[in-house]
Amino acid sequence: MKKYSLNEFYEIISEPITFNNEKKFITVQHSELPEVDDELSVSLRIKLKSHHSDWAVIFRKGGSEKETHARTPGLFLYANNSILHPRFTGNWKSNAGIDKVGDGLLLNKWYHITYTLSDPEKRMDIYINGVWTAFYAIENVQMNKVKFNDGQLEIGWAIDGQIGNFRYFNWRLSAEEVMKNYLNHRPFC
Class level of CATH domain 10-182: mainly beta
Rounded to whole angstroms, the Cα distance separating 18 from 51 reads 14
Give CA–CA dist 179/164, Å, rounded.
17
31: three-class secondary structure by DSSP = helix
Q: State residue 99's pLDDT score.
A: 96
User: In this structure, are residues 48 and 164 in contact, taking their beta carbons and an 8 Å threshold?
Assistant: no
Say what the pLDDT of residue 185 is.
74
According to the model, what pLDDT value does residue 160 have? 95
Backbone φ and ψ of 144, nearest 5°: -85, 135
Q: Can you point out the beta strands (E) in the chain?
A: 9-13, 17-19, 26-28, 39-50, 56-61, 74-77, 84-88, 96-97, 111-118, 123-128, 131-137, 153-157, 160-169
Question: Where along the chain do its domains lie?
Answer: 10-182
The stretches in the chain having pLDDT less than 70 are 1-5, 21-23, 63-69, 186-189
Q: For residue 104, what pLDDT is reported?
A: 96
Cα(141)–Cα(137) distance, rounded to whole angstroms? 9
3-state SS of the chain: helix, strand, coil percent to 5? 5, 40, 50
What is the reported pTM?
A: 0.93
